[in-house]
Amino acid sequence: METNKFNGTNYNDWLRNLRIVLDFENQGYVLDKLLPAILPEGSSPEECLMFEKWHEDNRKVRSIILASMTNEIQKQYDRLEDVPSIMLRMKDFMRFLTGILDMPPTKAFFETKMTEGSSVHSHGVKMLTLVEKLEDLKAGLNNDTYIDVILQSLPPSYDPFIVNYNMNGLEKSIHELINMLVQYEATTHKYESAVLVGEASTSKAKGKGARRWKRKKGKGTAVTATASTGGAPPAA
C-alpha cells in the first residue's frame, strides 16, 4: 500500500489494492458492514467473540486505511473511529470530485503529460497555470494532489527523481517542485554530456593506437607498416 497511497485521484486503484490486502487477512468484511456499537444483552459466547473480533479488525483496518493515504488527506479522516464511516465519506468525496473532473481545466490538468526530451520548466509552468485556474474555480484539490498529478505527468526518465521524492517524504510547494525538477534536468544533462565526451575521447584514443597498413602504389607487392607498434604486414 506504500506505493499506492490514496491521493484524491486514484480511488479505484487504491480500493482494489486495499481489498487485496484485507482479503488476505480475512478482514475485507469491515469495509462493507456497519460496526455494531453495543452487544445486545443475552448474546451467546460466539456472538461475544464475533463482536470482539469485529472491533479488533475495525481497529486494524482503520490503521491500514489511514496509513495508505497521503498526509494531507489523512488529516480529513483520522477523527473517524469506524471504517464504514471513513469509506462513506470517501465515496461522498469521490462523487464531488467526479463533478469537478468534468470541468475543462481539471480535465486538462489530469491529462497533460510531458513528452520525453522536452523542457521540464515549460511543462511545469503549464501545470502551474492549470493549478491556478483550478484554484480560481475553487476545485477543492489540495497541494498533495497537485504534486502527485504533476509527478505522474513526467516521462520515464524522471522515475529516479520521483522515487527519491517519495522515499524521502518530501513536502514541497508546486513552485519548489518545479525548481527541483529544473535542477534535476540540468544535472542529468550535464552527466549525459560528460558520458558522451568520455566515450568520444576513448574511441579517439583507440583509433590513434590502431594499426594501419598502407599499400604502396606501383609494381610489386611491397607494403609499409605505419602503426607505431610495427610488426609484420599482412600477407598480400
- Write out pLDDT tens, residues 151-164: 999 999 999 999 99
Evaluate whether residue 209 is within a structural domain.
no
pLDDT for residue 166: 86
pLDDT of residue 236 exceeding 50: no
pLDDT for residue 198: 52
pLDDT of residue 208 exceeding 90: no
21 Cβ partners below 8 Å, 6+ apart? 1, 64
- Domain end residue (candidates: 71, 101, 131): 101
Average predicted confidence (pLDDT) for the chain: 79
Evaluate whether residue 32 is within a structural domain.
yes
Lowest-pLDDT range of 36-40, 150-154, 218-222: 218-222
| All three cell numbers of 102 | 468534468
Domain check: are 124 and 48 in the same one? no
User: What Rg value do the Cα atoms of the chain yield, rounded?
Assistant: 31
Compare 228 and 159 and report the one with higher pLDDT: 159
- Domain end residue (candidates: 72, 101, 130): 101
Q: Smallest Cα–Cα separation from 5: which of 181, 115, 147, 156?
A: 147
Evaluate whether residue 29 is within a structural domain.
yes
pLDDT tens-digit profile of 98-135? Answer: 666 667 888 888 889 999 999 999 899 889 988 988 88
Residue whose cell numbers read 490514496: 6
pLDDT tens-digit profile of 5-15? Answer: 888 778 888 99
Q: 28-32, 114-118, 169-173 — which one is most confidently predicted on average?
A: 114-118
Contact 90, 66 (CB under 8 A): no
pLDDT of residue 204 exceeding 60: no
Average pLDDT of the residues in 141-153: 90
Measured CA distances, 212 to 160, 217, 225, 232 (Å): 45, 16, 7, 12
How many helices (H) and strands (E) would you count in the chain? 9, 2
Distance CA 91, CA 111 (A): 23
What is the number of domains present in the chain?
2
Compare 190 and 191 and report the one with higher pLDDT: 190
The pTM is what?
Answer: 0.45
| All three cell numbers of 99 | 463533478
Average pLDDT of the residues in 73-101: 81
Domain check: are 34 and 74 in the same one? yes
Evaluate whether residue 224 is within a structural domain.
no
The domain containing residue 113 runs over which residues?
A: 104-200
Evaluate whether residue 230 is within a structural domain.
no
